Structure formats: structure tokens, C-alpha cells
Amino acid sequence: MIDPETQAGWVPEADAADDEEEMPLSLRLSIADTLTLGNATCGFMAVYFTTTGILIPHLTGSQESGMARHSAATAVILMLCAAVFDLFDGLVARKLRSSPMGAELDNLSDLISFGLAPAYFVLVYGMVADDAHQRVAALGAIVVLLAVVLRLARFSCVTMKDGMFQGMPSPFGALTVVSIVLLELPFVATLLAIVGTAWLMVSRVEYPKPRGRLAGAVLGWIVLSMGLLAAWAFDAPGGQLLLQTGCALQLVMGAVIPLFATARRVNNFRDNRREARAAQLP
């Protein structure tokens, strides 16, 4: 008796061979993809430490403030590590071969590490700071998350000139949001600064891509931030002051870059108008 599937022309060996030809193209990970997965892992662990070391002790009434400090520092350090992975996966992808999944993996990992993790950090901050501010903090967290979602979606479909980002990059925005929380400003000022950072992420302000010397400067800044967080977490002498100085510097950087970009755009606009007027003169 003839098998109906064989009669229809289906051959198991041929189908298996076709699967082997197709599957490796979609499942083979490059070195850059491995770094991107490290980014996602750091973002998830940041959420874990924020939950187990800050939120749960608060809900259970634990008085161990040291645990909260260590966990907060660990969560932020993990976000900084995610930024390091994000920095290097792009550099490696440009130097070596990248897989077809690279861009999608990068966006998904950035959403976890620089969208979910900082938004969750803001939410937990509101719950720990004052129960009356929970809903407002939740609104701020949603704004941060949606800003990162919109920024990543726009990045995938908008072509910018080489060497520039449109809007504050999500790693920089996430670290700015976390720095605002760690500064322990009044609640209203904290919320306004967080919303302002979210707006910068979806704005049209141009930010330079970290390449060459700028990439080295970014890496140095991240390492310095990790050191400041470690000093603060272990209650080193002057650790609180060092942390506040580092966070304040992050906010200054977040504010100065858009000002320079705006000033450059205004100058370019004026130069173009002058050239247009000069071309109209006889």
C-alpha cells in the first residue's frame, strides 16, 4: 500500500534537509548578538534586585535600609553594565559579521534594560517614598516606558544622517532617569525632571553617536559611575556626596547636549537664510 504522503510527493528526508538549510540562518548567533543578550540579562536582573532588595522589604516593613541601598546600587550598576553591552555590541557588529536578528535583538534588549528597568525603578521609588505618590509615580513610569518604546520604534524606521541620533539615546535617557531618582529631590521636581527626560528621548534633538574618542569617554564615564555607586552602597566616607555629584553631572550632560544641538540648529538656520538672501541679490 502506498503512503498518501509519499504519493503526494512529500519526502521526509527532503523536508528535513530543507529545515537544516533554513534554520541555521535564523538561529545562528554572532558575537554581537551574544553581547546584546547580555544587555537583556542585565536589564532583567536590575528589575529582580529592585524587587527583592527595595520593594519587598518595604512591603514587609523591613528596617534594613542597608539592603535597600545595596540593592538600589546593584540595580543601577546592572543598568550601567547593560549600557556597556549596548555600546560594544554596535562596535562589534560594525567590525565583524552580524546576524539577521541583530537589529531586532538590540531593540528588544534595549526595551528591557532602558525601558522596563528604569520605569520600574521610578515606580518602586514612588511606592517607597510616599504611598500617596504611588499613582503619580506610576504615571511617570508609564511615560518613561512609552517614550523608550516610541524612540526605539522610530529608530527602526527613520534614517538619520551618519553619526547622529534623533532624540536622547535610550541608554543615556535611562541613566538620566535613574540619576534623577537617586538625587532624592522633592517629588514634584523629580517627576518633572523625569517627564522632561522622556520628552527628550522622543524629541528631534540630535545627539552624537558614541564612536572613537567619544565611545572611550562614554565607557570611562560608566566606569566612574559604577565606582561612585559602589562607594555609596558600602557607605564609604563621602560616598553620598560623590553619588550626588555624579548624578548631578549626568543631569547637566543631559541638559547641555540639547542646548548645544539647538544652538547649532539655530546657527545653521541663520546661515541658510543669509545664503538664500545673498543668492537673491543682483
Residues in the chain: 282
pLDDT per residue as tens, the chain (282 positions): 555 544 555 445 545 445 444 545 455 778 888 889 999 999 999 999 999 988 888 888 876 656 688 888 899 999 989 988 988 887 787 777 777 777 888 899 999 999 999 999 999 998 888 777 788 999 999 999 999 999 998 877 776 666 677 888 898 899 999 999 998 888 899 999 999 999 999 988 877 776 677 677 777 888 888 888 888 887 788 888 888 888 888 888 877 777 776 777 777 767 677 777 777 766
Instruction: State residue 210's pLDDT score.
Output: 67
| CA triple 269-204-164, angle to 5 deg | 85
Distances in Å between the Cα of 139 and the Cα atoms of 133, 177, 191 are: 10, 14, 9
Sole residue written with cell 508609564: 142
Instruction: State residue 163's pLDDT score.
Output: 64
SS3 99: coil
**Cβ–Cβ under 8 Å, residues 152 and 206:** no
The pTM score is 0.80
Q: Provide the H-helix boundaries in 112-238.
A: 117-129, 134-157, 170-182, 187-202, 213-233
27, 157, 31: which is closest to 98 by C-alpha?
31
Count Cα atoms within 13 angstroms, Cβ side, for 3. Answer: 6
| Beta carbons within 8 Å of 66's beta carbon, 6+ residues apart | 235
Instruction: State residue 16's pLDDT score.
Output: 47
Instruction: State residue 267's pLDDT score.
Output: 75
Instruction: State residue 191's pLDDT score.
Output: 92
